[in-house]
Structure formats: C-alpha cells, structure tokens
Chains A and B, each alone.
Chain A
C-alpha cells in the first residue's frame, strides 16, 4: 500500500495569518493523464470529513478560495492564505491512485 505522511502533525495558527501543511507519498501519485491522485479533507470537531481539494490542486465546490493545493509526484502542500477561526480541525491527505486508498495521519490545526 502507498504510505502517506504529513507534517507537521500539530499546527497552532493565528487568525489572519497564513498556514501550510505538507503531505508526502511513498510512490508518485502522478498518472500519465497528468493528474495527481491526491485529495485533501478537513474534519472539523465533531463532524464528518469534508472534501477540500481533489487531483492535488482542484478546489471542491463551495470551498473558500483561501484554500489552495499544490505539488506533484510525491510532494504536496495545502495552503490557507488567511486562517479563519472556522478552519480548525484535522486535515488529511488521501491518495486515490491505488486501491486501497490510504490517508495520512492527519494534521491538527487549532488556534494559538
């Protein structure tokens, strides 16, 4: 199975400041069609996960544009341009290149 790692695992943030989370995969997630099979999800406290980014950089419907995904191959980044209080929760990356899909361990984002 493809192993996913994330850093940091804990990220205290200040509202109004930017934030960044790194995700790495043990194998390249770039397919010959040019797409990276990498999703980002946010699980807010007490809630189900919600999709933020798919194909590494495509923002899901309804996701604020302060969220952006970048990267290719094995290295990916989720950036929040200006953190808001409602962005707290655990962020997961997930590879969809192979079955079974595998998630990273999660990055817990909370307010300083």
Chain B
C-alpha cells in the first residue's frame, strides 16, 4: 500500500516561472491537504480539497497560488510567477475522510514533500 506520493521531490525555478507540484493521495483517500514550511518556520495550512471541490482555502495566498484535485489524477498545487519568498517545502497530506465532527477525527498521512527553490 503505497503512501502519499509527491513529485517532484526537488524543483528549481527562476523568478517569474511557474511551479507545478503534484500529490497522489494514498489509495482510498479522497481528501487532500497542502501545507507549506518556510525556512526556519513551522508548517502552515494552505488548502483542503476533495475530489473536484475546494473545501477550505483560507491559508492560500490571494494571488498566484491555486490548487485543484480533479476527478482523475493527482492533486496539483500551482504557483504562477514565482518569487524568492516562495522557496519552501510544500507538503501534501491525505485522509480517508475529512471533517465529520468530533466523532470522525482522521489521521492525516503526509507525503515526503517537494522542496521548491526559486533562484
């Protein structure tokens, strides 16, 4: 049973280019979460998606960032016109079910992350 897969593991982009980060959740998981870990900082929630739906994007920067989780294929986190401040580790997590109230807490399983470096 493969875990959460992310690719690429390392991505280098020049300022102004686009970055596309991919996340394949664990088999049977239909909920995906993206987190960002800036250098010397903790992980911060970005967005929570289910298949074809964005549930919570309260942590996403207002511009240049977008996320999707199509019916088929991996979840994609897209960063347009990258700047040096976007350099970070981006982690994806998945769970079998999402929020179901206090009676349905689910462990989130994390991928190995994509380390984005913007030159």
**Co-assembled chains A and B:** no
Q: Which residues of B contact A (CB under 8 A)?
A: none
Q: Which residues of A contact B (CB under 8 A)?
A: none
